[in-house]
Amino acid sequence: MTLRRTLPNGLTLLLEPDADAQTVAAGYFVATGARDERPEEMGASHFLEHLMFKGSARLSAAELNERLDELGGQANAFTSDEATVYHAAALPEQGGALLDTLTELLRPALRPGDIEPERGVILEEIAMYAEQPAVRVADELRAAYWGAHPLGYAVLGTPDTVRALTREALERNHRERYGAPQVTLAVVGAFEPEEVLAWAQRELCGWPIGTPPRPSAPAPRPAAPGTLRTLRDEHLTRVQVALALPGLPASHPLREAAAVLAEVIGGENGLLYWALLDTGLADSADFAHLDYQDAGTFEGGFSCDTERAQTVLDAYRAVLATAPAALTDAAVRRAARKLAVSTLLRAETPQGRLFTLGMEFLALGRPLTTAELVDRYARVTPQDVRAVLALCPLTLPTVVALGPVAELA
C-alpha cells in the first residue's frame, strides 16, 4: 500500500514500505521536461540535470559525488519530454544518508565555473548521438511529426541552443520549474514511513514554492500525417527508418489496450518479427505506444540494407494494415500477459517499483499499486484493442528514412 502525503508547500511524498525488501530506493520525480522549454532554450532541462551533480552551496561536485558513491548502490538521473528524475538506491541502514544526499543534489549551486565545462560535456554528448543513425532518425521523426510543438524538441537541445544558455536562463528555469508543487519524492523498500515523514517535515517544508510556471503549450496534433521524408547520407551503409502514428494520452481508459496492440505488432514474437526478422528482410524492427499528458503516439521503425528498403517499408505497412485480423483472443491474451508479467518483474526490486510508482503518479495524478497495474492489463479484451484501432487507425504514418538510399515511396 502506498502512503501519500502533501506538505504545506505542495511537495508530494509517496511512501511504499516493503517488509521483505533488502534495499531502499528513493527518487525525486519533477513534473517538467523538454516540452516546458522556450524554443531558444531547448536543452535547458537536460543541462540542469547535469548541473545537479556539480554540487550545492554546501558541497562541491567531488564531495557530492563521493557521498553518492558511499551509498554503495546506484544513483543516476534522466530527462524526458515531461519529467526529470533523480534516483538512488542503498542498503536500509543508509536510508537517512540516501534521502539527505538526494535532497542536496536538488539544490544546485549553478557555479559559472561548473557550467562551462559541463556545456562542453553536453555538446560532446550531442555529437556522439548525432553519429548514431537510430537516434538521428528518431529526432528527425519527432520534429517532423510534431512540427513546432514542444514535443518535437530535442531533449538534449541543439549545439546552438546549448551554447546560448546562460547561467541566468538556467537559474530561471530551475526556479520556475523545480518549485515544490511540481516535485514528488517517492521512497520504496526497507524503511519506516514514520521516520521518513518526520524527516520530510524537518527537511522539505522549506522547499521553495517557486514562481508560477509558463502556461503549457496547447494539446499537440500531428503536423503532417502521411508524409515521407528521405535523408540521404552516403556515409552510412544501412537504412534506418522511423515512423509515427497518433496514439492515446496517458489518462485515456484504453491506454493499456494501446500497449497491448503495440505488443501484438512489435513484441518479441509479434507480427513484425515474423514478417521482417524471421524472413531476413530486416535486422531490427519495433513498434511501441508512447503516451503523454494530452497526446500519444505509436512509434516504430526498422533497419535493413539499402537494396531492401522499399520492400521492407511496404512489408511494414502491410503488417499495420493486417493488424485487425491478427487480434484473436489468444494473441491479445498472450500480449496482455507479457505486459502484466513485466510489471510484476519490475516490482520485485525497490528500484524497479520506484520508477513505475513515480512515473505513473506523474502521468495519472494518483499512485497505482502493482496489483492495480497488473489487473489493468489482465482486463484488456480484443474488443478494447479494436476500439483503439477505431480511434487510432494505423494508416497515414509520418515516415522518415535515413541512409544511402534514393527516395522511398
- Strand 238-246, strand 296-305: pairing: antiparallel
Count of positions (residues) in the chain: 409
CATH superfamily of domain region 228-403: Metalloenzyme, LuxS/M16 peptidase-like (3.30.830.10)
Q: What is the largest CA-CA distance in the chain?
A: 65
Helices (H) and strands (E) in the chain, counts: 15, 11
Instruction: Give the pLDDT score at 188.
Output: 98
Per DSSP (E only), the strands in 181-272 are: 183-189, 228-232, 238-246
| Residue limits of CATH 3.30.830.10 in the chain | 3-203, 228-403
Instruction: Give the pLDDT score at 214.
Output: 67
pLDDT higher than threshold 80 for residue 42: yes
Instruction: Give the pLDDT score at 218.
Output: 77
Mean pLDDT, residues 47-60: 96
Mean pLDDT of the chain: 96
Give 3-203's CATH code, choosing from 3.40.50.720, 3.90.1640.10, 3.10.20.30, 3.30.830.10: 3.30.830.10
pLDDT higher than threshold 90 for residue 314: yes
* Nearest to 380, CA basis, from 263, 237, 243, 295: 263
pTM for the model stands at 0.95
C-alpha neighbours within 13 Å on the C-beta side of residue 364: 15
Instruction: Give the pLDDT score at 288.
Output: 98
Alpha-carbon distance of 111 to 93, in angstroms, equals 33
Mean pLDDT, residues 374-399: 97
Give tens-digit pLDDT for 158-183: 999 999 999 999 999 999 999 999 99
The CA–CA distances, whole Å, from 361 to 168, 250, 341 equal 31, 11, 20
pLDDT higher than threshold 80 for residue 190: yes
Is the Cα torsion angle 323, 328, 332, 334 positive or negative in sign? negative
Q: What residues form DSSP beta bridges with 232?
A: 403
